[in-house]
A and B are shown apart, each in its own frame.
Chain A
Amino acid sequence: MPKVLCSVATRGRYFTTLPLVLSAIINQSKPVDKLVIFDDNDEPKDMRQELIYQHFFQILDFKKIAWEWVFAEKKGQHHIHQKANEMGFDWVWRVDDDAIPEPDVLKNLFSYATAIDSIGAVGGSILTPPLQFEGYFPTGKIENIDTEPNIQWSNISKIKEVDHLHCSFLYRAGVQDYNLGLSRVAHREETLFTYGLKQKGYRILAAPHAVTWHLKNPEGGIRSESKKEMYAHDDQIYRNIINYRDKTIIILNCGLGDHIVFNKLLPDIPNPVIFGCYPEIIPCRSIAEAKALFGDIEHWNIYKKMDQWKWTDSLENAYRKLYL
């Protein structure tokens, strides 16, 4: 049975919405295999001293659900999600600290994720009372993101394949990296992440019978120290990446030999746009330009990938896995 990690990033909501969220996770009809809470508070507390949390931890132990409280690095939720992404589980269910899932959300998301081939992520409705977006018929296409409400903001009545999800969803772990070049507010991080899964050939679903109530608590929140410039920075990275969606972005921030090996498989790569260090081997644009356009370029780091994959095959085949 594939293992599911539930990941919650929290900040400033110890005694408001976070207890509601944890209670809802504990009471899912399909229990998670592990719950990890990433505490991004400026002044984190030992919640084992708080009565309500003592109860939560005891219930988790009683239900034999592993749990972990991690003090996060205050770099933003994209860093937190990436940590969860790399924790070795098959699936990660990400839940905001003010988003309350109904009891069958995980059960239903998981059933779609495992019953249908090639699912990268599946998300249900994320509703905020009073409901404002009923009667719209959003496409969920990336090209319509500026002109339509997100499909998850209304009751989803039937399953629909989309390009991207937001807020809370279940995703296949260890396939796509979060963009760590975004600012602390990590604007569009979930859009980039789910669209990245789609670009890797996985299907993204908006699914019915999986309602999460997003209370949008005005206090606290992982993005609470936001600044306009951070949003503008992140939005620019998002738009740059989306503008290249019909291309294969190749970033060779590596040695001369690596360029030579990669060059062998270049003819097999559709619509390549190459950023690299050795234009005498492969005509390319600079690494500095790649960083400016896309923020984080680590998910194109072939050595990091081989390390993650515990690679034992050839370098050439590692490039094939990364780009083909």
Chain B
Amino acid sequence: MIIIHPYAKKLINGKRNPKNYPFWKELISLINEPIVQIGIEGEKQLVDDFRKNLPINELRLLIKECNTWIGVDSFFQHLAWSENKAGIVLWSVSDPLIYGHTINNNLLKDRVYLAKNQFLWWENTEHNSDAFVKPEEVVKLL
């Protein structure tokens, strides 16, 4: 079983979070394993098994059970790291050298897409689909 955590926290200004991966549909179609999506109420459902608003302890148990996981730069990659479970992180504007963990496959297309200031809120950073790797490159790592 693979866990996917597709969305970073919603932005206060309602804009699309620039850390959100834009090609989930295509990526999911390339995966031949049961997928569990985790997230919160209000997020778009991408697979049949969508588990919303799980408490931290249940997330930890789920992480232990999974073969691996795929996610964006959000709390989940830190939680999986704290459980010593390696996965794939799909990066765009935030810097994996600062916010990532070396146990993971940190897929950053190019450092030219990184936000100049890594320490501000993400509200003023525009979403750019070009900043992400394509699904074919992600599945190679599974």
A residues sitting closer than 8 Å to B (CB atoms) are 255-257, 260-261, 263-264, 280-281, 303-304, 306-307, 311-315, 318
- List B residues 21-76 near A (Cβ within 8 Å): 55-57, 74-76
- Inter-subunit contact A312/B119 (CB<8 Å): no
> Is B79 positioned at the interface, with any CB of A under 8 Å from its CB?
yes
- A311 cross-chain contacts in B, Cβ below 8 A: 98, 118-119
- B99 cross-chain contacts in A, Cβ below 8 A: 257, 314-315
- B74 cross-chain contacts in A, Cβ below 8 A: 257
Interface residue tally of chain B, by bracket? 20 to 34
Per-position 1/0 for B73-113, Cβ under 8 A of A = 01111110110000000000001011110000000000000
- Inter-subunit contact B98/A314 (CB<8 Å): yes
- A260-B82 contact given A255-B75, A312-B97, A313-B98, CB 8 Å threshold: yes
Q: Shortest CB–CB separation between residue A168 and chain B, in angstroms? A: 34
- B57 cross-chain contacts in A, Cβ below 8 A: 280
B residues sitting closer than 8 Å to A (CB atoms) are 9, 55-57, 74-79, 81-82, 95, 97-100, 117-120
Q: Please report the C-alpha to C-alpha distance between residue A261 and residue B82 in the assembled complex, in whole angstroms.
A: 8
Q: Please report the C-alpha to C-alpha distance between residue A306 and residue B9 in the assembled complex, in whole angstroms.
A: 21
- A256 cross-chain contacts in B, Cβ below 8 A: 75, 78
- Inter-subunit contact A306/B82 (CB<8 Å): no
- Can you list the 10 inter-chain pairs with the closest CB atoms, starting with the nearest? A257-B75, A256-B75, A260-B78, A307-B119, A257-B78, A303-B119, A280-B56, A306-B119, A260-B82, A261-B78
- Inter-subunit contact B77/A257 (CB<8 Å): yes
For the A-B complex with A260-B79, A306-B118 known, give 15 more contacts whose Cβ atoms are closer than 8 Å. A255-B75, A257-B76, A260-B75, A260-B78, A260-B82, A280-B55, A281-B56, A303-B119, A307-B117, A311-B119, A312-B95, A312-B98, A313-B97, A313-B98, A314-B97
Q: Shortest CB–CB separation between residue A153 and chain B, in angstroms? A: 42
Q: Please report the C-alpha to C-alpha distance between residue A255 and residue B98 in the assembled complex, in whole angstroms.
A: 15
Residue of B nearest to A317 (CB): B98
Q: Shortest CB–CB separation between residue B82 and chain A, in angstroms? A: 5
Q: Which of B56, B78, B100, B117 counts the most chain A CB atoms within 10 A?
A: B78
- A255-B119 contact given A264-B82, A314-B97, CB 8 Å threshold: no
- Inter-subunit contact A315/B75 (CB<8 Å): no
Residue of B nearest to A316 (CB): B101
- B55 cross-chain contacts in A, Cβ below 8 A: 280
Residue of A nearest to B76 (CB): A257
Q: Shortest CB–CB separation between residue B69 and chain A, in angstroms? A: 15
26 chain-A/chain-B pairs, Cβ below 8 angstroms:
A255-B75, A256-B75, A256-B78, A257-B75, A257-B76, A257-B78, A257-B79, A257-B99, A260-B75, A260-B79, A260-B82, A261-B78, A264-B82, A280-B55, A280-B56, A280-B57, A281-B56, A306-B118, A307-B120, A312-B95, A313-B97, A313-B98, A314-B98, A314-B99, A315-B99, A318-B98
Q: Shortest CB–CB separation between residue B102 and chain A, in angstroms? A: 9
Q: Shortest CB–CB separation between residue B19 and chain A, in angstroms? A: 11
